[in-house]
Amino acid sequence: MDFVYSHYNYWIAIFLMMVGFYTVISRGNLIKKIIGLNIFQVSVFLLYISIGTVAGGAAPIITQGVTLYSNPLPHVLILTAIVVGVATTALALALVVRIKEAYGTIEEDDIHRQDQTL
């Protein structure tokens, strides 16, 4: 049990990862898929931040009298990944707008049906 409690941040990351992944796979609504994708990406951000923690380490800002710092590199990496995530979401939403204009719907099943009947 101790193992479960002491790694709670990883459990949250895994839970979010699965929630996001399942949403992407199971939902037919294009917007909901994007939401799922975002949750999936955020879980990875949490994973990185967790990795960066050093037990007993202070925030990585040089201060007098502190010798042990957390690792700042994962934070920096994740900043990049967040930017990438924002760009992906923006592009995905733009595509959904265009799809709505072209098909009049954002439900995957309806889009599929319209393509079949052509």
Partner 1 sequence: MIQNNLSLLLVVIPLVAAPIVAILPRGRLPWFLTLVVTFVCAALAGMQLWTIMANGAISYELGGWAPPWGIEYRVDVLNALVALIVSGVAALTLPYALLSAEKEIPEHQIPLFYGAFLLCLTGLLGITQTGDIFNVFVFLEISSLSSYALISLGRQRQALTSAYQYLIMGTLGATFFLIGVGLIYSQTGTLNMMDLAQRLPELTGLKTVHTGFAFLMIGFALELALFPLHLWLPNAYTYAPTVVTIFLAATATKVALYVMLRILYTVFPNGFVSSTPTGDLFVLSGIAAILSASFYAIYQVNVKRLLAYSSVAQIGYMALGIGLASAKGVTATIIHLFNHALMKGALFMAVGAIIYRIGACRMDNIHGLGRQMPWTFGAIVIAGLSLIGVPGTAGFVSKWYLVLAALEQQAFISVAAIMVGSLLAVVYIGKIIEALYFKPVAEANLAVKEAPMLLLTPTWVLVIANIYFGLNTTFTVGIAEHAVRVLGVAAK
Which stretches of the chain bind partner 1, using CB under 8 A? 21, 24, 30, 33, 37, 40-41, 44, 47-48, 51, 74, 77, 80-81, 84, 87-88, 91-92, 95-96, 98-99, 102-103, 111, 115
Q: What is the DSSP letter of 57?
A: P
- Other C-beta atoms closer than 10 Å to the C-beta of 83 total 10
Closest approach, Cβ 51 to partner 1, in A, equals 4
Closest approach, Cβ 27 to partner 1, in A, equals 11
List the helix and strand counts (H, then E) for the chain: 5, 0
Q: Which of 33, 13, 38, 12 is nearest to 23 (CA)?
A: 33
Residue with Cβ nearer partner 1 (66 or 91): 91
Closest approach, Cβ 65 to partner 1, in A, equals 25
Residue with Cβ nearer partner 1 (59 or 112): 112
Q: Are 74 and 49 spatial neighbours (Cβ–Cβ below 8 Å)?
A: yes
